[in-house]
Amino acid sequence: MKNPILISLLMWWLAAPVRGAGVDIAWDGCLGDPGAVSNKSFACDQTLGAEQLLISFVPAISFTSVFLIEVAIDMRTRTDAMPAWWDVYGFNSCRRGGLDVDAFPAVLATPTCERWYASATIETASYDWRYPTADVARMVIQAHVSTASVIEGHHYLACRLLLNHGGAEGCAGCLDPIDITVSAVRLAKSFTVDQVLTQPQTSNVAHWQPDRATATRATSWAALKSLYR
């Protein structure tokens, strides 16, 4: 799981935000699409089907020949520890395969988000359950793209996540409120030229089971940076 690209995440995650750009996340569509929402409730009474999360971005700089995109996501519970329902990666995980990156999204363009690559190899580069603190699961997604370019100010679909219903009865915590934050999106034009987007364009947070939430625990940018000191 350790490689130079992932190690470099510690550096670009802390980079200064790029003005005029941002990242978004929404259920059921790109944020701004008809039907796209920030809150998702599920009765946890089904084992078939899935919920979809779409992550999008608006670049501040036009790039040609983009070869890599990396997306960093934090899933945070409002209790002391991430529930077993979100233990979705690893041979002995409680709900193995419960969260998938859609390698061939059915929707490469939406009413709000544009298509920007001809093809891509998308994978989960890392998934750390209950790390760096017990109340967080951290996910990093990598996509190697081809024939790709982005234009400043345009809204693009980065990737789609599928949160599968399977295992809802066997692993505790499906009903627990979770805040899902896109912490950063990195676009690499070369190994030395990239841009890192860390601020929301509209909203970089989506909520799971919000109706069951109590008080939201605030997480500041300073607190995020302190994890790597």
pLDDT at 206 exceeding the cut of 90: yes
pLDDT computed for residue 223 by the predictor: 41
227 lies in some domain: no
Cβ partners under 8 Å of residue 141, min gap 6:
70, 71, 72, 73, 101, 122, 123, 124, 125, 159
Summarised one tens digit per residue, pLDDT across range 74-95 is: 999 999 999 999 999 988 899 9
Strands 50-58 and 178-188: unpaired
Q: What is the mean pLDDT of residues 23-30?
A: 97
222 lies in some domain: no
Model confidence band, residue 130 (pLDDT cutoffs 50, 70, 90): very high
10 lies in some domain: yes
Residue 200 belongs to a domain with what CATH number?
A: 2.60.40.680
221 lies in some domain: no
Question: What's the Cα-to-Cα distance from 5 to each of 12, 25, 64, 198, rounded to whole Å?
Answer: 10, 24, 20, 18
Domain that holds residue 13: 4-214
What is the reported pTM?
Answer: 0.83
Q: What is the mean pLDDT of residues 138-161?
A: 93
The number of domains in the chain is 1
Model confidence band, residue 228 (pLDDT cutoffs 50, 70, 90): very low
91 lies in some domain: yes
The CA-CA-CA angle for residues 158, 132, 120, to 5°, reads 20
> What does residue 166 show for φ and ψ, rounded to 5 degrees?
-55, 135
224 lies in some domain: no
- Strands, E, within 34-118: which ranges? 39-40, 50-58, 63-64, 68-77, 99-101
